[in-house]
Structure 1
């Protein structure tokens, strides 16, 4: 925990913060904090600063806080991600926070299992917890916007054009999969791609599920203005592809 985050309910006075939950346990067990220590603090959705530890017991920690620093600026990147496996989603939510993504859109895809959309990890509370862990790691107080789009075609046709306004658009998909003689989406043909390059321009990046987008989905994304990009010759897990792609975009 590089930043102690708090909400208004944690304050017992305008500049006095009390901790009694996992944050207290972290102070005791990891930071080995002592009275007089100065710790980084930040109000969720607001300013950051420092807190002086003025009292500490096994039941609670009291800090006198001063908030005077705005949170770090977000990268103007919208990540459109085919809904990953629930356990992977937890890690990805934290990752997109630490990498400064401004918005995350979770979408459906042919290769996304229907059961994923019933996962308890998609509840608002569960996602908020993972986003908060990412904020504490990154030293930030403002989480990216997260939205769910469980229907692929309506999202691509109705929502994606507005999201693409004024943005570069990329779909990380080095191989197109298209129907062949069998009429199935598993036949493989290579597709012309470009390599991602560092850019400060507003960007939308789409990443598919395990196994990638099928050809129909890639074509729909391309029709909306996205270009195919190549992350290299190795087959990557979704969470690795997210980290690699966002890392390549860093200016």
Structure 2
């Protein structure tokens, strides 16, 4: 936790905060080894970042005296991610990693090779998703929560919603065998589409290209989805 992310409900007034949830308290004790008087980096969800002094840490919670929270969060990565729903364990890590990299819109998409049982996973509950997004924000010292959308029907999403997005954004389909290499350092808004383990089936590739995506690749190596997503975002950003 490089940032203590405060919910607005944690603020007791303009200059004080009271953190009570077990996860953040455990992190303060076991990782930060924080003691009263220590200064730590804090930020308010959706707001600014600054410093705060730990006033007390006990069974009732952690109380902070806040200095000026006047620093803006880091700039967002202007790349939207459309990701075929990964297996639950991989989903958790992927959400944290892409949030830390600055992605602010994530669409989880059903495709032919996505197991239908994945959509029943507890990891897709709003609470669980929020937890993983918070961990990514804390890691990157960010405060702006990403938006996560669940799309369980491939065809209407691609033909309607994705095609509309791509009128104002560059669409990039990452898939083995595509002709163009992944570009570097984009300077315009983009939407990156990444498939499941095993990739998209031919029909899905054709539909994504027809919607306006450009096919790209990362070379001859076939990477796990969670590795490929990080490599793509790092290269594009």
TM-score grouping bracket, smaller chain normalisation: over 0.9
Out of 226, 229, 233, the position equivalent to 2:220 is 233
Are residues 1:77 and 2:79 paired? yes
Q: Secondary structure at the match of 2:31?
A: helix
The superposition leaves residues 56-110 of structure 1 with CA deviations (integer Å, 9 ceiling, x where unpaired) of: 3354221111311121121111111100001100000001111111211111111
Return the alpha-carbon distance in structure 2 between the equivalents of residues 213 and 38 of structure 1. Answer: 49
- Verify the 8 A CA contact 1:78 1:203 in the aligned structure 2: yes
User: Is the contact between residue 4 and residue 41 of structure 2 (CA under 8 Å) also seen in structure 1?
Assistant: yes
Partner of 2:173: 171
Contact 1:2 1:137 in 2 (8 A): yes
- For the 8 Å contact 1:174–1:193, the answer to whether it is kept is no
Question: What is the root-mean-square deviation of aligned Cα atoms in Å?
Answer: 1.3
2:198 is aligned, of 211, 214, 231, to: 211
Secondary structure class of the residue paired with 1:159: helix
Mapped to 1, the partners of 2:29 and 2:184 lie a distance apart of 43
Q: Per-residue CA shift, 1:137-167, capped at 9, x if unaligned? A: 0100112111011000000111012211222
Runs of 4 or more, structure 1, over 3 Å off, are none
Structure 2 counterparts to residues 68-217 of structure 1, below 5 A = 68-175=70-177, 191-217=178-204
**TM-score of the superposition, structure 1-length normalised?**
0.90
The answer for the alignment partner of 2:27 in structure 1 is 26
Tell me the TM-score normalised to structure 2 length.
Answer: 0.95
Which structure has the larger Rg?
A: 1
Q: Distance in 2 between matches of 1:124 and 1:169?
A: 27
Q: How many matched pairs? A: 235
**Can you give the 5+ residue segments of structure 2 that lack an aligned partner in the other structure?**
none
Q: Please say which of residues 217-226 and 166-175 is displaced more in the overlay.
A: 166-175
Unaligned ranges ≥5, structure 1: 176-190
Q: Residues of 1 paired with 2:123 and 2:191: CA distance? A: 24
Find the aligned partners of 1:141 and 1:246 in 2 and give their Cα distance: 20
Distance 2:9 2:217 in 1: 47
1:7 & 1:248 partners in 2: Cα distance? 32
Give the conservation status (yes or no) of the 8 Å contact 2:181–2:219.
Answer: no
Residues 118-127 or 160-169, more deviating: 160-169
Query: Comparing 47-56 with 92-101, which one deviates more in the overlay?
Result: 47-56
CA deviation after TM superposition for structure 1 residue 220, in Å: 0.6
Structure 1 SS opposite 2:28? helix
